A and B are shown apart, each in its own frame.
Chain A
Amino acid sequence: MKKTFKLDGLDCANCASKIERAIKNIDGVSSATVNFMTAKIIIEGDDSKFDNITAKMKEIVKKHEPDVVVRAV
């Protein structure tokens, strides 16, 4: 499954790449890309684990950039 989320208020490029790296390490994620310019993240991963992946992803974003709001596209 492949899903795109919008990261509203993503201002720091270094944080974006830290977020990307951390999300790649979530169990079940096969690929993750944060596009800083469009402020979007595309995650590809196991269908069965996707709810868990989404929850973990939100935690990671919150940890690095507490002011960013994650929105499903």
Chain B
Amino acid sequence: MARHRKHIIKITSGAVIYALGIIWHPDNFYISLAIFLSAYIIIGGDVLFRAIRNIFRGEVFDENFLMSIATIGAFAIGEYTEGVAVMLFYQIGDLLQSYAVNKSRKSIAALMDIRPDYANVRRDTGDIERVDPDSLAVGDIIVIKPGERIPLDSTVIEGTSAIDTSALTGESLPRDVGAGDELLSGCININGVITARVTKEFGESTVNRILDLVENASSKKSNSENFITKFARYYTPAVVITAVLLAVLPPILIAGESFTEWIYRALIFLVISCPCALVISIPLSFFGGIGGASRQGILVKGSNYLEALASAETIVFDKTGTLTKGEFNVTSVTPHGITEDELLELVAHAEGYSSHPISQSLVKAYSGQIDLSRVSDVESIPGRGIMARVDGKQIAAGNAGLMEMLGISYHARTDGNLGTVVYVAVDMAFAGSILISDEIKQDAKKAISELRGAGVRKTVMLTGDTDVIGGRVAGELGIDKVYAGLLPDGKVARLEELIKEKSPRGKLVFIGDGINDAPVLARADIGIAMGGLGSDAAIEAADIVIMTDEPSKVASAIKISKKTLCIVKENIAIALGTKGAVLTLGAIGFASMWAAVFADVGVAIIAILNASRMLRVKTEK
């Protein structure tokens, strides 16, 4: 900041001399001129120097040059006080602007401060050494102490601890890990010492991929940014040409008009000819929005996607893994002649050897410990179920087909179409049935209602499941429309129909788990993948990645998008409005150069401050 301090001293001393000149107001013209001229050179010397240097480099329309011409012009027509004042306020404004930019840069750096600085590697000798995480290879052993950031993606080999994943997911609840669990770089180890084996090099590790993604997101520019870039290209030359015409034409064409008056008006134009306010503040708003979203566990891969999300009209969900957990759970147990616990105990044991998801869900539903020594004679009957002896009792568990095959009369479930039913017989007598189905995620209902609150017109669910299951989930969540029984290519076809149905300006968003719906993700206007934490496929396929499993994050993303767009529009309106007004007033002789300086640097500062609101996105609990 030494550069800034020197600058401030120069500006202040120049300002003092300037004030002296105004208060003293010497009658002698030359003394007066000398005072203002020296103040001018002290304040704006560097601007003049840069202007001359840039002319030799072939850069004519640069800010320094235009500001120099404007102020020298003011001197030439005898407006010394204003010439100095314009330079003074331009310099002060520039200083404040650079301060504001620096401050936003620091906030952004803080937002993205999840990069681990070092890793403790354990050498073969047993020594522990602190090294750069980039220097480690897959298979190296690292030690992570409490309070440290996990440096690389790795697997725990020793120790247990709670891990704070909030930097990646926005999730405040810590996660417990032990031997065999996966660790993701960027998370913080809270309490225990863990030893882990590196599974990915630093470049491929989660933290590095996320940072890369966020930093590069600005390369996919939004329409507003493209508009401003184009606008900026024509704005400066247009304003400068108008200024020249303004200075020359009226005095020549209109009798009685003085050159001094019109040159003054032209100088006002030159002061406002930099489009800086817009050029800085719009990318800053988007960048802030993307940074803030990443803090909530939402990775947006481009400013264009953040912008498009604000006009989300139709939201299409995949069911399994997105709105539902995608794992099977026992949702209803109907015993017959024995207790519920007894039924579960017998079935869980009979299924204890099987790795089938349905069997696993039955084992999970049993509250006690499975003792496999109680189980014998396990026989699986393909397509029907399983038979086994538990505590000497003959257990048969399977679908209706198994019961029929064994000639056992059973009570068919009426809600059987909501999931998978397991019928159980003990010693060839019907003992009850168990319904296993996928569970709806906790925040799924909230997600749908929040989306509606965020202005989404239509919610749709696509599923490969039956109408009944789809209909039940949709009904429970309040989803407008369901398309069930779809194969993967059927999903793409449905999506295309939905795209045709929406209004031309509205966007269609598809949300899936990113595993087997890549074609649908790609076809939607915006593809969002859920549960991206640790899944490279999801990060690759989608435009926006939600790191956690919460569908309600989609609504948060839309809210961030709307807020960003709102700030962008405000800034465009403030900047163009003020500039337009001062240009018009200047042309007809109602604005002074003071107003022009405000329209230039003042507006830039206001726009930056407005944009930096985006950097203060709170993490939702």
Contact = CB atoms under 8 A, between A and B. Distances in A.
A14 B276 contact: yes
Contacts of A37: 104-105, 108, 218, 283-284, 287
Contact of B215 (A31, A40, A66): A40
Given A37-B105, A63-B57, A63-B58, A17 B218 contact: no
A56 B398 CA distance: 73
Contact of A17 (B50, B58, B219, B232): B232
Nearest to A33: B219
A12 interface: yes
A11 B98 contact: yes
A14 B104 CA distance: 17
Contacts of B191: none
A41 to B, nearest CB: 10
A19 B321 CA distance: 45
A16 B105 CA distance: 15
Contact of B105 (A12, A39, A64): A39
A13 interface: yes
18 contacts: A13-B101, A13-B276, A15-B62, A16-B279, A21-B233, A35-B219, A35-B287, A36-B280, A36-B283, A37-B108, A37-B284, A39-B105, A40-B215, A42-B219, A63-B59, A64-B59, A64-B62, A66-B57
A42 B104 CA distance: 21
Query: Is chain B's interface secondary structure helix, strand, loop, or mixed overall?
Result: helix
Given A37-B108, A42-B216, A63-B58, A14 B284 contact: no
A38 interface: yes
Contacts of A11: 98, 101
Interface string A11-35: 1111111000100000000010101
Interface of A: 11-17, 21, 31, 33, 35-40, 42, 63-64, 66
A17 B229 contact: yes
A66 B51 CA distance: 12
A36 to B, nearest CB: 6
Q: Say which size band chain B's interface belongs to.
A: 20 to 34
Residue of A31, A36, A39, A42 most packed against chain B (CB within 10 A):
A36
Contacts of A13: 101, 276, 279-280, 283
Nearest to A14: B279
Interface in B45-94: 50, 53, 57-59, 62-63
Contacts of B215: 35, 38, 40
A60 B165 CA distance: 43
Contacts of B287: 35, 37
Contacts of B108: 37-38
B26 to A, nearest CB: 37
B96 to A, nearest CB: 12
Given A37-B105, A37-B218, A38-B215, A17 B57 contact: no
B551 interface: no
A33 B62 CA distance: 21
Given A36-B280, A37-B104, A14 B219 contact: no
